[in-house]
């Protein structure tokens, strides 16, 4: 499974991340934030079976996990962070904050 490829851009107020994670369901993607550390992970499962009558001729199963963690220059305001997954691209909007606390996992819409 290929690694997660991404672009990170920055404004004075926030970081924007676009990560290519094709072929996933949003339920299989997890984003967590702790201070200025961001982690993205995705897990896929695929099962394919070909039958002739009741005899299995071929069965293919694949499982894969990919993840990527990175550190940003400023702490993230996790209460205002946003994650969206559409057409194989995960888009994160990560507003900056002065002082941080705790860790949070983002819901993906």
Specify if 33 maps to a domain: yes
Q: What pLDDT is recorded for position 41?
A: 94
* Average pLDDT, rounded, for the chain: 85
Specify if 82 maps to a domain: yes
pLDDT for 83 beyond 80:
yes
Specify if 55 maps to a domain: yes
Specify if 107 maps to a domain: no
Tell me if 36 sits within 8 A of 75, measured CB to CB.
Answer: yes
- Res. 45 pLDDT band, cuts 50 70 90: confident
Whole-prediction pTM value? 0.75
Using CA atoms, how far residue 44 sits from 30, 49, 90, 93, 109, in Å, is 12, 17, 15, 24, 18
Window from 15-24, 65-74, 99-108 with minimum mean pLDDT: 99-108
pLDDT for 85 beyond 60:
yes
In whole angstroms, what is the distance from residue 63 CA to residue 46 CA?
A: 6
The number of domains in the chain is 1
Specify if 109 maps to a domain: no
- Range of 64's domain? 5-101
CA 101 to chain centre: 22
DSSP E strands, 1-109: 5-10, 14-20, 29-34, 37-52, 55-71, 75-76, 82-86, 89-97, 103-106
Specify if 73 maps to a domain: yes
Which tokens belong to 23?
A: 């072929």
Specify if 56 maps to a domain: yes
Percentage, residues of the chain above pLDDT 70: 82
Specify if 30 maps to a domain: yes
CATH number at residue 22: 2.60.40.790
């Amino acid at each position: 499974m290929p690694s997660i490829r991404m672009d990170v851009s920055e404004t004075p107020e926030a970081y924007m991340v676009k990560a290519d994670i094709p072929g996933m369901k949003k339920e299989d993607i997890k984003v967590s934030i702790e201070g200025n550390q961001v982690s993205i992970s995705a897990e896929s499962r695929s099962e394919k079976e070909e039958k002739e009558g009741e005899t299995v001729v071929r069965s293919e199963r694949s499982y894969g996990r990919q993840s990527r963690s990175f550190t940003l220059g400023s702490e993230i305001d996790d209460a205002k962070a946003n994650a969206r997954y559409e057409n194989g691209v995960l888009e994160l909007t990560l507003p900056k904050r002065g002082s941080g606390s705790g860790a949070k996992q983002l819901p993906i819409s």
